Amino acid sequence: MTIWMPNIEPLPGPRYRAIAHAIGEAVSAGKLVPGERLPPQRRLADALGVTVGTVTRGYAQAEHNGWVVARVGSGTFVKQAGTRAAFDMVCSPCDSSEAIDLSLSLPPPHPLRQQALSEALSAMSASPAALTRGVSYLDARGSEGHRDLLAKWLVALGMPLVSHELLITQGGQHGISLVLNTLLRPGELMAADALTYPGAISAAQQAHLKVVGIAFDEAGMDMDALEAQCARQPPRLIYITPDQNNPTGVCLSEARRSQLVALARRYDIWLLEDGVQYLPVEQRGTPLYQLAPERTLFVFSTAKVLAGGLRIGVLRAPLELLERLAAGLRAQSWMVPPLMVDIVCHWVTQPAANMLLNWQTKEISERQKLTAEVLTDYQLRGHPRGSNVWLMLPEGVRAIELCERLLQGGVKVSSAEPFCVGSAPAPQAIRICIGAAKDQQALHSALVTIKQCLAQPPLAPVTV
């Protein structure tokens, strides 16, 4: 039996987290070795002067972080794979408060993510070819091998893309920013849904573009409004998330996709199609890059499928733009770190990648159902398979006040302001990122808080 006994006294924060932290450090330092059993929970609880429940939570957190595994009836054991990579525990990311943060659009957490990363790192360190690539300068577009492999993965995900149209980026945000900075000149106009992904708005601001919001409804961007804008001043580029508007989840209808393409052709407008918010293939419409390959740039990323921290994405562009975009990328950062691309390429070829995605798809559906049940009395929007829910507030409730009240109750969500394009007034609504909660229990507790805060008088009436 192990004699490992942590000293959690000097560690800050809740005790369960201190226990998990101590496990991570011990694994990292080799004080706990793969296969070693952690002390029985009661014994550790007595030794540390905490409850058994606290130890259970600490072990569960350590398991969640990918360092240990619980085996029913026999105890908790240090994981075999990737245990030396536990140094990241020292930073214990985003765990500084007890608040449930539903303001960031994240895929639901699962230890398979850390495990897949750990396995990829082990594979990298044992691969002379990957190590050589990792210390080399490569083509700004990404190596041919990397692009081929990523293209295969995208095809398997239902995105019919070919490797010679691709450029590897440091995530979806980088793809957007690269396109705006490379194809548009300061002062030119970008159009987008009147509510859209804030990263696109800030990328446009950074590129000194003008932005205009186009009204949209349940079928997506309003084509009459777009046409009127084109007649006044055609935008140089339209940024759009056709399968799932972020924040509202609205999907652009097939008819409007065709109209959009026709308008883009008539007025010679680039289309920047953002597919980062992942949906299973049967939930997606016809991609714009298929309808108008000659003018569509498509951005995708590993962030919502594998993990945001990897910072790897792809940009699909018409062939004649690739060299300009590559020159833009070279000017910014020469290339994307090959090691990170290798990690992604390894990860997506492992069975765990599909397991994770299948689990995630099911988990998001369950979270959607849970949200609909708890907030049944309220007006909810959002794609039924998407990980964001848009809650239209009842008459008289102000989003800003509700957000403040929720924060006091330990729940963080976003109001509509960051999503507003141009100066149109923000609707009274909040975005709830249901993927961000650590599990369904945490989500449930946050949703109950939201329901209670909505029911609480007196939220000041809206003054118009």
Ligand X SMILES: Cc1ncc(COP(=O)(O)O)c(C=O)c1O
**Upstream peptide bond of 458 is cis (omega within 30 degrees of 0):** yes
Contact indicator for 226, 189 with CB cutoff of 8 Å: no
- The answer for residues whose C-beta is within 8 angstroms of residue 2's C-beta and 6 or more apart is 32, 36, 37, 38, 39
H or E, element range at 26: helix 15-28
Q: Which of 143, 277, 360, 415 binds ligand X (CB under 6 A)?
A: 277
Please tell me the distance from the alpha carbon of residue 311 to that of residue 328, in angstroms, as a whole number: 18
Binding ligand X by CB under 6 A: which of 40, 145, 293, 308? 308
Task: Kindly indicate which of the ranges 165-173, 217-225, 341-349, 444-452 contains the residues binding ligand X, using the contact rule CB under 6 A.
Answer: 165-173
- According to DSSP, residue 434 is labeled T
Burial of 397 per CB tally in 10 Å (0-12, 13-18, 19+): buried
222: three-class secondary structure by DSSP = coil
DSSP-based three-state secondary structure for 163: helix
Q: Is 105 in the site for ligand X (CB under 6 A)?
A: yes
Q: Looking at beta carbons only, is 6 or 108 nearer to ligand X?
A: 108
Q: Which is nearer to ligand X, 19 or 336 (CB)?
A: 336
Q: Identify any residues that bridge with 392 across adjacent strands, giving them in sequence order.
A: 379, 429
> Should residue 248 be labelled a site residue for ligand X when binding is judged by CB under 6 A?
no
Taking the complex as a whole, the smallest distance from the CB of residue 309 to ligand X amounts, in Å, to: 9
Instruction: Specify the residue, 308 or 409, whose C-beta has the smaller distance to ligand X.
Output: 308
Does 150 bind ligand X (CB under 6 A)? Our answer is no
Structure tokens at 136: 């080399």
Beta carbon of residue 171, minimum distance to ligand X (angstroms, whole number): 3
**What residues contact residue 375 under an 8 Å CB cut-off, 6+ apart?**
389, 391, 447, 450, 451
User: How many angstroms separate the CA atoms of 446 and 103, rounded?
Assistant: 12
**Residue 193, exposed/middle/buried by CB under 10 A (0-12, 13-18, 19+)?**
buried
171, 213, 242, 287: residue in contact with ligand X (rule CB under 6 A): 171
Site string for ligand X, 178-217 (x = CB under 6 A): -------------------x-x------------------
Q: Which of 142, 234, 313, 338 binds ligand X (CB under 6 A)?
A: 313
3-state secondary structure of 239: strand
Among 25, 274, 342, 363, which residue sits at the site for ligand X (rule: CB under 6 A)? 274
Q: Show contacts with ligand X in window 227-246 (CB under 6 A).
A: 241, 246
What is the total count of residues that contact ligand X (CB under 6 A)?
Answer: 15
Among 6, 39, 107, 172, binds ligand X (CB under 6 A): 172
- For the bound state, the minimum distance from the C-beta of residue 464 to ligand X, rounded and expressed in Å, comes to 30
Coil, strand or helix at 259? helix
Tell me the β-bridge partners of 210. 189
Residues 6+ apart with CB under 8 A from 74: 37
Q: Could you give the string, one character per residue 51-90, with x where binding to ligand X holds by CB under 6 A and - elsewhere?
A: ----------------------------------------
Q: Per CB under 6 A, does 435 bind ligand X? A: no
Question: Quick one: 427 or 435, whose CB is closer to ligand X?
Answer: 435
Nearest-approach distance from CB 274 to ligand X, in angstroms: 5
What is the dihedral sign for C-alpha 62, 63, 68, 72? Answer: positive
Stretch that binds ligand X, among 5-13, 112-120, 159-167, 170-178 (CB under 6 A): 170-178
Q: Which of 301, 368, 387, 415 binds ligand X (CB under 6 A)?
A: 301
Distances (CA, A) of 206 to 176, 181, 214, 246, 332: 11, 8, 20, 20, 14
Based on the shown chain and the rule CB under 6 A, indicate whether residue 303 belongs to the binding site for ligand X.
Answer: yes
Residue 187: how many other CB atoms lie within 10 Å: 10
Please, which residue, 55 or 203, has the CB nearer to ligand X?
A: 203
CB contact at 8 A, 251 and 393: no
Return the range that interacts with ligand X (CB under 6 A); candidates 24-32, 41-49, 171-179, 399-407.
Answer: 171-179
Q: Mark the segment that binds ligand X (CB under 6 A) among 272-280, 289-297, 343-351, 426-434.
A: 272-280
Indicate the residue among 59 and 278 with the shorter CB distance to ligand X.
278
Chain positions contacting ligand X, by CB under 6 A: 105, 171-173, 197, 199, 241, 246, 274, 276-277, 301, 303, 308, 313
